[in-house]
Copies of this chain bind each other. A is one copy, B any other.
Amino acid sequence: MAEVPSETTVREKPVEQVDAVVIRFAGDSGDGMQLTGTQFTNESAIAGNDIATLPDYPAEIRAPAGTLAGVSGFQVNFSQARVFTPGDRPDVLVVMNPAAFSVNIADLRDGGILVADSDAFTLSNIRKAGMDGDPLADASLTKRVRVFAVPLTRMTTDSIKDMGLPNKTMVRCKNFFALGLCSWMFNRPIEQTLTWIGAKFAKSPALVEANTRVFKAGWNFGETTEVFVHTYEVKPADIEPGTYTNMTGNRALALGLMAAASKAGKSMFFGSYPITPASDILHELAAHKNFDVTTFQAEDEIAAVCAAIGASFGGALGVTASSGPGIALKGEAIGLAVMTELPLVIVNVQRGGPSTGLPTKTEQADLMQALYGRNGESPLAIVAPATPVECFDMAFEAVHVALKYMVPVMILSDGYLANGAQPWKIPDYDELPDISVRYWKGDLGFHPYLRNEDTLARPWVIPGTPGFEHRIGGLEKDYDSGDISYDPVNHERMTRVRAEKIERVNEDLDPPRVEGSELGELLMVGWGSTYGALAQATEELNAEGLATGHLHLRWLNPLPVEELKRIFARYKTIVVPELNMGQLVRILRERLLVDAIPVSRVQGQPFKVGELKARVKAIVEEGR
């Protein structure tokens, strides 16, 4: 058995310096690719690289092993520069079976590296993947990319066959071989991985040993055999000092909500009904019952939001989360929150639509639903985090706005943010702002629809407060008494007040900030999860000589219309790339009467930087 590698091991093979690498692990759903990818990401983070990841797993039901439908992938981009996206096309592709090969090979860049488990390329597996002959031997492939066919399964079992484990168990370890091999190839620090294996399988010492041995076998295979001639190194990136952890959007969102509720001095009540890709928020919160968080898995989405509204009425911070179809169901009840002017946070982790659509894919097609998915004039505030870690900050802001203005706030996340991970510079809780609000001071002349002069918020006097017993509801209320009112002029007045409250939120928000060129040829306006692609494209376009600005809106309602006007005026062309058929672009056109041009992609996937640049350049060239 090969020698134990360690940080001090002298590397025998030459090291090639590279700026950035995109690597994708792909295999069957059962092959542990998400685990492998995540752990490789952790190693890269510890190595000091900047990173971005993209997990991509199949539809919700487990497909039969070895089929195209069952392929699961995980891509990570690690770099010594700032990283905005998981990368368009991988430099390195690791495939555990023919199906994974078939689904992913077209993405591998020319000249890239393919590592394949040759043991899995049996005739029957190849057929299952819809191919005929052994694709690894195909000349057109070997000409285009560098193919490393490695008998991964065999080497895995060989390295632990003396342990007397069942064959199935042994084979299951093979992802650690791949991880070991890749860790070697990219000079990743591996101490932490070894500790992690120990912790993860703590219940079964045999598995700790097996996986450790297999992992090392993979590392040693790279180091010892003649197959690979050199390793690669990506230098640490210039990253802001601090303590970091890997953070997904869903987890960041959950933590942000919790921290905000706590900083507001409120209990949090989270009413939800499971739905992909929002369920993890429920799972995360349910695990922290010691943080004054109540999670309520309701019988449906309507009950979930209604329970949250009831909790808000009672003085808690009511929160609900779902994805598009569930949000559609909540529309009527959200209208009740608008009318009763209760604080409420609604999270929509968007996915491909319409209807059930593409449940596991990402899309930004619910902005219009957020704005208009209810009867009547029913305005609410809308915020969209741009990156996974921003989910924390935006959730925090959302809570603040909901409480201060007594309005529902919708947070628009999406599948890409939700599952994507990013290094999060861990904040100090004690330095987060205090956002507690005091609503009602006087005790004379109280009625439930009195208003704070600045925010127009009504007083949040909660049951249990003696002397202020009152009734609220979904019927229109009199501005002056809070009683039910059918008065025509009063209705218009109240309608305008509800709208004005949302406009006033602008006063709390950071002014929009352009990245890239402050003026010039082109302004790209984006929102939500496309941030990375737009930022990357902006950098590259500027580098290519096209003066490009990038404005990424966080708050989508209200909009700082006057400031946007001033910014837009500084550019010749305005484009609005979105993962939908053009939604923000409609709002900008309507509000600003500016000929902003949509760049749409509705493919259940993020923008590819290359494609985005090409489309944007074509628009600039054609003048539109």
Q: When the two chains form the complex, which single residue of B359, B488, B498, B589 contacts A593, counting CB atoms closer than 8 Å?
A: B589
> Are B378 and A374 closer than 8 Å at their CB atoms?
no
Using A358-B491, A589-B589 as known contacts, say yes or no to A375 and B324 having CB atoms under 8 A apart: yes
Scan residues 580-624 of chain A and give those whose CB is less than 8 A from a CB of chain B: 580-581, 586-587, 589-590, 593-595, 601-605
> Are B376 and A365 closer than 8 Å at their CB atoms?
yes
Q: When the two chains form the complex, which single residue of B357, B474, B580, B603 contacts A356, counting CB atoms closer than 8 Å?
A: B474
A58: nearest chain-B partner, CB-CB: B486
Is A198 located at the chain interface by the 8 A CB criterion? no
Scan residues 470-506 of chain A and give those whose CB is less than 8 A from a CB of chain B: 473-476, 486, 488-489, 491-492, 495-496, 498-499
> Are A357 and B328 closer than 8 Å at their CB atoms?
no
A368 to chain B, nearest CB (A): 4
Using A595-B593, A602-B495 as known contacts, say yes or no to A368 and B366 having CB atoms under 8 A apart: no
> Are A325 and B356 closer than 8 Å at their CB atoms?
no
Residues of chain B within 8 A (CB-CB) of A197 are none
A324: nearest chain-B partner, CB-CB: B375
Q: When the two chains form the complex, which single residue of B331, B355, B589, B593 contacts A338, counting CB atoms closer than 8 Å?
A: B355
A324 to B335, CA, bound (A): 11
> Are B324 and A376 closer than 8 Å at their CB atoms?
yes
> Are A357 and B376 closer than 8 Å at their CB atoms?
yes
> Are B489 and A603 closer than 8 Å at their CB atoms?
yes
Q: When the two chains form the complex, which single residue of B377, B486, B603 contacts A365, counting CB atoms closer than 8 Å?
A: B377
> Are B365 and A375 closer than 8 Å at their CB atoms?
yes
Is A352 located at the chain interface by the 8 A CB criterion? yes
Q: Which of A338, A491, A587 has the most CB of B within 10 A?
A: A491
A324 to B339, CA, bound (A): 14
A484: nearest chain-B partner, CB-CB: B59
A359 to B484, CA, bound (A): 12
A341 to B201, CA, bound (A): 50
A580: nearest chain-B partner, CB-CB: B377
Over the window 353-365 of chain A, the binary record of Cβ atoms lying under 8 Å from chain B Cβ atoms (1 yes, 0 no) is 1111111110101
A254 to chain B, nearest CB (A): 22
Is A204 located at the chain interface by the 8 A CB criterion? no
Using A339-B356, A593-B593 as known contacts, say yes or no to A373 and B369 having CB atoms under 8 A apart: yes
> Are B593 and A475 closer than 8 Å at their CB atoms?
no
Scan residues 28-72 of chain A and give those whose CB is less than 8 A from a CB of chain B: 58-59
A292 to chain B, nearest CB (A): 30
Q: When the two chains form the complex, which single residue of B338, B352, B355, B498 contacts A491, counting CB atoms closer than 8 Å?
A: B352
* Copies of this protein chain in the complex: 2
Residues of chain B within 8 A (CB-CB) of A331 are 328-329, 331, 369, 373
> Are A325 and B335 closer than 8 Å at their CB atoms?
yes
Is A372 located at the chain interface by the 8 A CB criterion? yes
Is A332 located at the chain interface by the 8 A CB criterion? yes
A582 to chain B, nearest CB (A): 9
> Are B475 and A358 closer than 8 Å at their CB atoms?
yes
Q: When the two chains form the complex, which single residue of B488, B604, B605 contacts A603, counting CB atoms closer than 8 Å?
A: B488
Residues of chain B within 8 A (CB-CB) of A593 are 589, 593-595
> Are A358 and B486 closer than 8 Å at their CB atoms?
yes
Is A336 located at the chain interface by the 8 A CB criterion? yes
Residues of chain B within 8 A (CB-CB) of A365 are 375-377
Scan residues 287-312 of chain A and give those whose CB is less than 8 A from a CB of chain B: 302
A585: nearest chain-B partner, CB-CB: B590
> Are B328 and A353 closer than 8 Å at their CB atoms?
no
> Are B327 and A375 closer than 8 Å at their CB atoms?
yes
A247 to B328, CA, bound (A): 35
Using A329-B331, A602-B492, A603-B492 as known contacts, say yes or no to A376 and B361 having CB atoms under 8 A apart: no
Over the window 374-393 of chain A, the binary record of Cβ atoms lying under 8 Å from chain B Cβ atoms (1 yes, 0 no) is 11111000000000000000
> Are B328 and A373 closer than 8 Å at their CB atoms?
yes
> Are A605 and B488 closer than 8 Å at their CB atoms?
yes
A340 to B621, CA, bound (A): 39
A225 to B365, CA, bound (A): 72
A476 to B363, CA, bound (A): 13
Q: Which of A58, A325, A366 has the most CB of B within 10 A?
A: A325
A58 to B492, CA, bound (A): 18
Is A371 located at the chain interface by the 8 A CB criterion? yes
List the 9 shortest-distance A-B pairs measured between CB atoms, nearest first: A353-B376, A324-B375, A488-B603, A354-B376, A356-B474, A354-B378, A368-B372, A355-B474, A339-B355
Q: Report 23 cross-chain contacts, Cβ distance below 8 Å, ordered by A residue.
A: A326-B332, A336-B355, A352-B476, A353-B378, A354-B378, A354-B498, A355-B375, A355-B378, A355-B475, A357-B376, A357-B475, A358-B491, A365-B375, A366-B375, A369-B375, A371-B372, A377-B581, A486-B604, A488-B603, A491-B602, A492-B601, A492-B603, A590-B590
Beyond A354-B498, A358-B486, A492-B603, 8 additional pairs, beta carbon < 8 A: A326-B332, A331-B373, A339-B356, A353-B374, A354-B378, A363-B376, A368-B372, A495-B581
